[in-house]
C-alpha cells in the first residue's frame, strides 16, 4: 500500500443520512416537502401571506390564473405522493443545486420557505428508499429523476477506490411521456419503499389526523391567502383564533424592523365563547412555527409568569418576515424557534412588554369569581357584549391594548388563607355560629380588623 | 399605606437635593446634544408632583406623563400643577408598551417600594423601548427594615430581627444574586453595604437587558443613596448608541462631584441646620472650605458647634439645600 501525505477525511452517505434524519419527525419531513412547493409559489407570484395577518388578502385576486394554486398530498400504506402546480423546478436547478446537501439559495429577493438547503433531501430519506420526482418548470423544461436510494448508497467511483459517488442520474423516461394533472407547471413527487416506521405511522388514524392538524396550523396564512391544500382528497381549511373587541377593549398591534426582518406582534384576548387555551402563535415568512405556545419558548415562566388557566384567553400572534431566510428565528425543523437568535431575543422582549397589560387585565377579572369555570361568565359580565374580530381585517395600523372601564364595577380582590381547623372552629363559636361557612369567618375577621385598626 | 400619606414629598430634604442634582446634571447634558427640554417626562405620580414641578421649571419640559396606580384619580387630577400633564391611572408596566418608540423620554421610575420582580420587569421594559438618547432613572428603597418585607410574613412573624436577616440572605440571593454576580452574605446587609449590592445588581441587570439591542449601551450618570428616614437608592443614565461615550464625556458631566459611573453609590447627606446656621455657613463658605483643605479641620471662629463631616456635606450640597417655611395660602 502506497503511503499518503494527507489524512483521509470525508463524509459517508450513511452517516449523513443518519444525522440529518435523526432530529426530524415524520410530520416535519412531510411539511418540508410542502415548504418546497410553497417556496416556488412565493418566488414566482411574489406573494406575501403575512399580509393576511393584518388585512383581507387573497394573492390570486391580482393575478390571472387558470386554476387555484394547489398542493395535493396522498398517503397510503405503501406510497407517499405530493403533487403541486406551484411552478416546478428547472432542469438547470436540478443539475446544480437541488440535490446538493446544504446549499441554500443565496441572495434571495423573496420571503421564501426554503432555508437550509437540506429539507427536501432529508424528507426523502426520512420517508422511504425510492423517490420518483417529475417536474415541469414551464414550456419544454421537464425533468424526471428515478432515485433508488439503496442502490445509490452503494455507488462508488471506479477510478477513485473507496470514494462514494454522490451524483444522482436522470431517468431515461422521455419528457414528452410525462403527464401532469394541472394546467400550471408543477412537480409530482412519489416516495415508495417506505421505511418501516413510516409505514406503521401512515397506517394510524391518529397520525393522519395529526398531520391534517399540523398542515392546517402551519399553513393557516397560506390557506387564508388562497392556496389550496388537499390531504387524501380532503381540502383543508385554515383555523386561526380571533380577538374579542368592544368599545372598551382592543388588541395591541405593533410593527418594527430589526436587521432585515419585519416583525409584527398582535395580542389581545379571545372571545368568551372561545374555550381553547390560546397563547402565542409564531410565524416565519408566513409559515407557523409555534402553535398556541404556552412554554418558555415564548417567554412563559421566564419573561412572563408561568402559563395558568386564568390566561386561557390570552392570544398573541408574532410574525417574522424576511428575504434573508437564514436570520429568521425558526429551528431547523421549522417547528419551534431558535431562542438564541438575536432577532427572536429582541422580539421576546417586545412580546413580554405587550403581554403584560393583557395578563394584568386577565389577572384582575379572574379575581372576581372563585373558580376557573365561572371566569368566562365573569369576563362576559365585566365587558358586556363585544364582537369577535378576526384580527386579520384590521390590525394593519398600530394600536395599543386598551381597557377603559366605562361602567362602574366593583374593584375587588380575593383573599385565601389556611388556618388550624380547631382554631377556626373556636372563632366560629366565639362569633356565635358554630356552623358558619369558612368564607364568612374570613370576611367577619377581616371586617373586624378594618373597623378596629384602620382610620 | 402609600408613602405620600406618611410624609409630604417636598419635605424630604435629601430627596429634594437629589432632584436638584439630577436637574443640574441633565442641564449639563445639553452640551452633548441631549436637549432635555424636548423630552417627554414619564414619572410615577404622587399628589405632590414635586418632580414634575421642578422638571418643568428648570428643565423646561412641557410634555409630561404621570402614572399612578392608587385608586385616587380625582385627587391626582385635582392636584395636577399643570394642565399639560397627562395623568394615566395605570402601572408603569401598562404605560411602557404605549410609549412612542421614536420620541425621546426622560423616565424616572421612582418607587416607594423595595426591588422585586415587578421592578425588574419594569426596568427591562423601559430599557427595551427607550429610543437612543433616552434617559432612565430608577429609585428603590434600599433599607433593611423594608427589605425584610420580602420574607413570607407568616414565616417571619415569629422570628427575631437577627433571624429575619438570616432568612433574607437566600431571598436576596434568589432575587439579586444572578445580577450581583457574587453570593450575597449577611455582611452585605449593613446599611452602608446594602445600597452597593442593589446598585451593582441594577447596573448589571440594565446592561444585560441591552443584550437584545445591538450597539446600544447604558451610560450611568447617577448612583445616589440618601435617607429621609428610609434609605433610598437611585441609579440613572443615558441609553444611547455605543459610540456616544466620547460625546458624553466631553460634556464635562463626569466632572460633577455627584455624578458617578461606579457601583459605589454617592451619599447625599443634608445636615439638619437652622436657617440662621445655613446663612452663616454660606456667608463664610470660601474661608471655611480653604481652611478645611489646608488644615483638614474647621477654623476656630465657627459661630456654633458642628461636626466637620456635616460641614463637608453642606459644602457639597449647599446650592441644592432646601429651605422650608410655613406658608399660609
Closest CA to B89 of B115, B110, B112, B71: B71
**pLDDT (tens digit per residue) in B17-26:** 999 999 999 9
Grid coordinates in use for A65? 390564473
Q: What is the rounded CA–CA span in Å between residue B73 and residue A386?
A: 27
For helices B50-59 and B13-28, the axis angle rounded to 10 degrees is 30
Q: How many domains does chain B have?
A: 2
**CATH code: domain of residue B12:** 3.40.50.150
The domain locations on chain A are 13-235, 243-403, 421-453
Can you give the pLDDT at residue B4?
44
The CATH number assigned to the domain with range A243-403 reads 3.30.230
CA distance A52 to B29: 46
Q: Which residue range forms the structural domain that includes residue B77?
A: 3-143+191-268
Over residues B27-45, the pLDDT tens digits come to 999 999 999 999 999 999 7
Would you say A215 and A231 are in contact if contact means Cβ atoms under 8 Å apart? Answer: yes
Candidate from B91, B125, B214 with C-beta closest to A353: B125
The enclosing H or E element of B281 equals helix B275-283
Looking at the complex, does the CB of residue A350 fall below 8 Å from at least one CB of chain B? yes
Nearest to B97 among A256, A342, A357 (CB): A357
Predicted pLDDT at B103: 95
Contact of A36 with chain B, judged by CB distance below 8 Å, is answered with: no
* Average pLDDT of the residues in B72-87: 94
Are B13 and B107 in a shared domain?
Answer: yes
Q: What is the mean pLDDT of residues A223-251?
A: 89
First-last CA distance in chain A: 101
Could you tell me if B316 and B200 lie in one domain?
no
Pairing of strands B105-114, B134-141: parallel
Under an 8 A CB cutoff, do A349 and B98 touch? no
User: Chain centroid to CA B151: how far?
Assistant: 25
CA distance B271 to B278: 10
Of residues A372 and A145, more confidently modeled: A145
pLDDT of residue A157: 73
Task: Look at residue B234 and tell me if it is in a domain.
Answer: yes
Residue of B nearest to A341 (CA): B212
Please indicate, yes or no, if residue B243 is contained in any of the structural domains. Answer: yes
Contact B125 A352 (CB under 8 A): yes
Which range, A45-54, A172-181, A389-398, B96-105, is most confident?
B96-105
Position A271 scores a pLDDT of: 84
Whether residues B32 and B100 share a domain: the answer is: yes
Same domain, B280 and B264: no
Between the CA of residue B250 and those of B29, B30, B33, B247, what are the distances in Å? 10, 11, 11, 5
Residue B122, pLDDT above cutoff 80: yes
Higher pLDDT, B19 or B324: B19
* Domain match, B210 and B297 both: no
Residue found under cell 501525505 = A5
> Hunting for cell 430581627 — which residue is that?
B161
pLDDT-based confidence at B206, cuts 50/70/90?
very high
B125 in a domain, yes or no?
A: yes
Nearest CA in chain A to B99: A400
Taking the model in full, what pTM does it have? 0.81
Looking at residue A387, what is its pLDDT? 66
A400 interaction partners in chain B (CB closer than 8 Å): 97-98
pLDDT of B1: 43
User: Is ipTM beyond 0.95?
Assistant: no
Residues B240 and B100 in one domain: yes
B108 occurs within a structural domain: yes
Q: Do B86 and B65 fall within a single domain?
A: yes
Domain spanning A13-235: CATH 3.40.50.300: no
Q: Which of B98, B121, B209 sits opposite A400 (nearest CB)?
A: B98
Closest residue on chain B to A302 (Cα): B121
Split at pLDDT 50, 70, 90, the class of A385 is low
Q: Give the gap in angstroms from C-alpha A402 to the nearest C-alpha of chain B.
A: 9
Does B242 share its domain with B99? Answer: yes
Give the nearest chain A residue to B214 (CA atoms). A342
For position A381, what pLDDT does the model report?
65
Range with top average pLDDT, A95-99, A167-171, B265-269: B265-269
CB-based contact, A163 to chain B, within 8 Å? no
By the CB < 8 Å criterion, does A336 face chain B?
A: no
For A184, phi then psi, to 5°, come to -85, 150
Interface touch B128/A354, C-beta < 8 Å: no
pLDDT beyond 90 at A371: no
Calculate Rg over the CA atoms of chain B: 21
As a whole number, the mean pLDDT across chain A is: 86
Chain A to chain B Cβ contacts (< 8 Å): 40
Residue pointed to by grid coordinates 376557573: A372
Does pLDDT of B277 surpass 80? yes
Question: CA dist B297 to A450, B290, B300, B307, Å?
Answer: 56, 10, 9, 10
**Higher confidence at residue A201 or residue A2?**
A201
Q: Which region among A283-287, A331-335, A406-410, B161-165 has the lowest average model confidence (pLDDT)?
A: A406-410
pLDDT score, position A218? 94
CB within 8 Å: A401 and B93: no
Average pLDDT of the residues of chain B: 91
B197 & B312 share domain = no
Is residue B293 assigned to a domain?
A: yes
% of chain B beyond a pLDDT of 90: 71
Question: From the CA of B87, how many Å to the nearest CA of chain A?
Answer: 14
Using a 10 angstrom Cβ sphere, with 0-12 exposed, 13-18 middle and 19 or more buried, the burial of residue A387 is exposed
% residues pLDDT > 70 (chain A): 89
Residue B86 and residue B19 share a domain: yes
Q: Answer whether residue B5 shows pLDDT above 50.
A: no
Instruction: Find the closest chain B residue to A259 by CA distance.
Output: B214
How big is the CA angle at A378 (ends A373 and A380), to the nearest 5 degrees?
Answer: 115
H/E element, A267? strand A261-269
- In this prediction, residues A316-334 reach a mean pLDDT of 91
Residue in B with minimal Cα distance to A304 = B121
Does B329 map to a domain?
no
Do B236 and B281 lie in one domain? The reply is no
The terminus-to-terminus CA distance of chain B in angstroms comes to 27
User: What letters, b where the CB count within 10 A reaches 16 and e where it falls short, cover B213-236?
Assistant: beebbbbbbbbbbbbbebbbbbbb
* B20 and B130 part of one domain: yes
Per-residue confidence at A164, pLDDT binned at 50, 70, 90? confident
B154 found inside a domain = no
pLDDT digits (tens, 9 = 90+) for B229-260: 899 999 999 999 999 999 999 999 999 999 99
CB contact under 8 A, A346 and B212: yes
Give the per-residue pLDDT at A396: 59
Amino acid at each position: 500500500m502506497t503511503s499518503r501525505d494527507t489524512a483521509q477525511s470525508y463524509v459517508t452517505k450513511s452517516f449523513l443520512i443518519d444525522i440529518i434524519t435523526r432530529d426530524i419527525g415524520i410530520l416535519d419531513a412531510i411539511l418540508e416537502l410542502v415548504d418546497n412547493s410553497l417556496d416556488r409559489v412565493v418566488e414566482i407570484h411574489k406573494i406575501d401571506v403575512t399580509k393576511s395577518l393584518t388585512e383581507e388578502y387573497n394573492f390570486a385576486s391580482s393575478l390571472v390564473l387558470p386554476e387555484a394554486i394547489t398542493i395535493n398530498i396522498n398517503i397510503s400504506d405503501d406510497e407517499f405522493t405530493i403533487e403541486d402546480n406551484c411552478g416546478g423546478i428547472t432542469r438547470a436547478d436540478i443539475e446544480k443545486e437541488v440535490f446538493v446537501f446544504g446549499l441554500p439559495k443565496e441572495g434571495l429577493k423573496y420571503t421564501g420557505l426554503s432555508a437550509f438547503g437540506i429539507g427536501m433531501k432529508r424528507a426523502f430519506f426520512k420517508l422511504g428508499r425510492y423517490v420518483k420526482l417529475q417536474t415541469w418548470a414551464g414550456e419544454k423544461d421537464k425533468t424526471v429523476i428515478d432515485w433508488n436510494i439503496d442502490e445509490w448508497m452503494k455507488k462508488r467511483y471506479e477510478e477513485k477506490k473507496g470514494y462514494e459517488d454522490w451524483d444522482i442520474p436522470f431517468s431515461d423516461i422521455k419528457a414528452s411521456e410525462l403527464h401532469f394533472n394541472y394546467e400550471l407547471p408543477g412537480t409530482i413527487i412519489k416516495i415508495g419503499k417506505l421505511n418501516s416506521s413510516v409505514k406503521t405511522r401512515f397506517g394510524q388514524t391518529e397520525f393522519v389526523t395529526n398531520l391534517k392538524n399540523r398542515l392546517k396550523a402551519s399553513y393557516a396564512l397560506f390557506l387564508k391567502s388562497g392556496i389550496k391544500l388537499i390531504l387524501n382528497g380532503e381540502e383543508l381549511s385554515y383555523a386561526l383564533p380571533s380577538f374579542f373587541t368592544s368599545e372598551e377593549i382592543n388588541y395591541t398591534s405593533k410593527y418594527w424592523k430589526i436587521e432585515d426582518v419585519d416583525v409584527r406582534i398582535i395580542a389581545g384576548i379571545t372571545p368568551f365563547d372561545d374555550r381553547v387555551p390560546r397563547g402565542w402563535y409564531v410565524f416565519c415568512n408566513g409559515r407557523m412555527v409555534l402553535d398556541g405556545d404556552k412554554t418558555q419558548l415564548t417567554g412563559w415562566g421566564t419573561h412572563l409568569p408561568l402559563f395558568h388557566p386564568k390566561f386561557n384567553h390570552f392570544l398573541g400572534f408574532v410574525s417574522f418576515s424576511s428575504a434573508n431566510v437564514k436570520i429568521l428565528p425558526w429551528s431547523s425543523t421549522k417547528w419551534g424557534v431558535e431562542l438564541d437568535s438575536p432577532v427572536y431575543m429582541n422580539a421576546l422582549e417586545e412580546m413580554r412588554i405587550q403581554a403584560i397589560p393583557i395578563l394584568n387585565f386577565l389577572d384582575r377579572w379572574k379575581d372576581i369569581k372563585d373558580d376557573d369555570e365561572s371566569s368566562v361568565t365573569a369576563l362576559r359580565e365585566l365587558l358586556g357584549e363585544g364582537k369577535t374580530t378576526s384580527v386579520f381585517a384590521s390590525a394593519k395600523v398600530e394600536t395599543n391594548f386598551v381597557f377603559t372601564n366605562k361602567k362602574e364595577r366593583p374593584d375587588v380582590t380575593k383573599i385565601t388563607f389556611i388556618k388550624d381547623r380547631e382554631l377556626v372552629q373556636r372563632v366560629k363559636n366565639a362569633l356565635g355560629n358554630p356552623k358558619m361557612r369558612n368564607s364568612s369567618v374570613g370576611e367577619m375577621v377581616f371586617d373586624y380588623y378594618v373597623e378596629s385598626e384602620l382610620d | 399605606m402609600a408613602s405620600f400619606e406618611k410624609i409630604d414629598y417636598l419635605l424630604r430634604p435629601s430627596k429634594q437635593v437629589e432632584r436638584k442634582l439630577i436637574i443640574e446634571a441633565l442641564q449639563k447634558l445639553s452640551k452633548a446634544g441631549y436637549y432635555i427640554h424636548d423630552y417627554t417626562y414619564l414619572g410615577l405620580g404622587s399628589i405632590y408632583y414635586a418632580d414634575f414641578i421642578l422638571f418643568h421649571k428648570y428643565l423646561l419640559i412641557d410634555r409630561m406623563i404621570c402614572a399612578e396606580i392608587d385608586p385616587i384619580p380625582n385627587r391626582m387630577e385635582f392636584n395636577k400643577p399643570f394642565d399639560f400633564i397627562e395623568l394615566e391611572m395605570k402601572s408603569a408596566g401598562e404605560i411602557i408598551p404605549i410609549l412612542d418608540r421614536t420620541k425621546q423620554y426622560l423616565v424616572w421610575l421612582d418607587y416607594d417600594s423595595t426591588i422585586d420582580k415587578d421592578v425588574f420587569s419594569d426596568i427591562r421594559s423601559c430599557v427595551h423601548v427607550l429610543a437612543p438618547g433616552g434617559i432612565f432613572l430608577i429609585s428603590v428603597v434600599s433599607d433593611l427594615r423594608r427589605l425584610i418585607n420580602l420574607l413570607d410574613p407568616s414565616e417571619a412573624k415569629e422570628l427575631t430581627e437577627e433571624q429575619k436577616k438570616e432568612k433574607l440572605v437566600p431571598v436576596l440571593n434568589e432575587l439579586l444574586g444572578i445580577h450581583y454576580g457574587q453570593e450575597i452574605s449577611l455582611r452585605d446587609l449593613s446599611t452602608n453595604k446594602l445600597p452597593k449590592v442593589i446598585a451593582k445588581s441594577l447596573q448589571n441587570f440594565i446592561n444585560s437587558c441591552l443584550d437584545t439591542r445591538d450597539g446600544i449601551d447604558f451610560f450611568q450618570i447617577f448612583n445616589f443613596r440618601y435617607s429621609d428616614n428610609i434609605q433610598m437608592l437611585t441609579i440613572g443614565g443615558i441609553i444611547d448608541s455605543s459610540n456616544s461615550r466620547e460625546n458624553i464625556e466631553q460634556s464635562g458631566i463626569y466632572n460633577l462631584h455627584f455624578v458617578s459611573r461606579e457601583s459605589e453609590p454617592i451619599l447625599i447627606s443634608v445636615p439638619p441646620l437652622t436657617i440662621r446656621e445655613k446663612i452663616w455657613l454660606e456667608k463664610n463658605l470660601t474661608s471655611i472650605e480653604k481652611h478645611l483643605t489646608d488644615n483638614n479641620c474647621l477654623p476656630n471662629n465657627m459661630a456654633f458647634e458642628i461636626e466637620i463631616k456635616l460641614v463637608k456635606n453642606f459644602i457639597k450640597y449647599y446650592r441644592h439645600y432646601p429651605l422650608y417655611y410655613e406658608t399660609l395660602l
